[in-house]
Amino acid sequence: MSRLRFVILGSVLVMMVVVFSCSSGSGGARQFTDTPKKGRITISADESFRPIVDALVQVYESNNDSTKINVQYKPESECVADLFNDSIRMVISTVKLSDEQLQSVVDSLHLVVKQLPVARDAVAVIVNPSSRDTLLSMEEIKMILTGTYTKPLKPVLDGLSATSTVRFLLDSVLKGQKMTSDAMGANTSDSVIQFVAGNPNAIGFIGVSWIGNKDDAEQLSFLKKVKIVQLESSDKPGRYVLPVQANIYTKRYPMTRDLVYILKEGHRGLGTGFAEFVAGEIGQLIFKRAYLMPGRRSFLIRPAQTKE
């Protein structure tokens, strides 16, 4: 864990203690009227995962018409801050708390807190259709992000701080190196796609769920505007791979990350029902259809050959 991430999470946990101390004297146990199949709750989710979370919520509400799940999409750091906000039942992001941090949340809020990785995602790299930079090594990705690449490619991210994509690039790719000052932050992932589509020298970094689902009409329209870069395989130098499910599952694609939910609920309510759905058969199939790798189901990958 990077120092920046440690400081952010540490600050959040301190604030949890303060908030609980101020509210614990209000008296009386809270009364809940929601159940796993009925009621209304609010959750927060990393904006990078809006397409898949929208799909999960839509199907759950369709199957349980007495439920309403309000989703607040935010940068990841704000989702982490919501861990101490007792009006938010669940947080969905790439943050996974250590056992010690998890226990601190439990001790501070006096609630049952559960976290579970439910899928594996990838950070996709996109370029303008006119670009020839469609095969890149991780060393070249680092050079692009630090501004030392041989071509003037401008990195475009879903924000310049606080998002899961930015944190992943800083922690897992740059590993302490400073990102170029030429890097540009867009407000949302679809804004990254639109900017790259209109600028030949731009290179974008987004969650694969925004462009991986070829059954989604909007994502198909995105793929007509940009190209997905193939990155050098983590297991075979000189081989380049796309962020497709098999490569995400095996981590052959070098930029993968887990999608995790953190549930805070003192009773068996709607948050529990939604969490069980996300980790269950239907939820996992939704991840599969969105071209993420389901995290709670086992899959067998068999080699196949095609005849020309």
Percentage helix, strand, coil, to 5, in the chain? 40, 20, 35
User: What is residue 253's predicted lDDT score, i.e. its pLDDT?
Assistant: 97
Cα–Cα distance, 253 to 247 (Å, whole number): 5
Q: Is the fold of 34-120+257-294 the same as that of 122-249?
A: yes
CA distances from 307 to 57, 241, 304 (A): 41, 21, 10
Cα–Cα distance, 207 to 189 (Å, whole number): 8
For the cut 50, the answer to whether the pLDDT of residue 30 exceeds it is yes
Write down the domain spans for the chain.
34-120+257-294, 122-249
pLDDT band for position 266 (cuts 50, 70, 90): confident
pLDDT band for position 22 (cuts 50, 70, 90): very low
The mean pLDDT value for 95-123 works out to 89
For the cut 90, the answer to whether the pLDDT of residue 35 exceeds it is yes
For β-strands 113-127 and 202-207, DSSP reports them as: antiparallel
Q: Are 51 and 222 in contact (CB under 8 A)?
A: no
- Which among 70, 125, 121, 60 is positioned nearest to 95, based on CA atoms? 121
For the cut 90, the answer to whether the pLDDT of residue 111 exceeds it is no
Class of domain 34-120+257-294: alpha beta
User: What is residue 182's predicted lDDT score, i.e. its pLDDT?
Assistant: 94
Whole-number average pLDDT of the chain = 86
User: What is residue 234's predicted lDDT score, i.e. its pLDDT?
Assistant: 95
The mean pLDDT value for 114-131 works out to 95
The DSSP bridge partners found for residue 264 are 113
What pTM was estimated for this model as a whole? 0.82
Say which amino acid occupies 34. Answer: D
Question: Higher-confidence residue: 172 or 31?
Answer: 172
- Report helix, strand or coil for 141: helix
Determine the topology of domain 122-249 in CATH: D-Maltodextrin-Binding Protein; domain 2 (3.40.190)
Tens of pLDDT, residues 200-225:
999 999 998 888 666 666 667 777 89
The mean pLDDT value for 16-34 works out to 53
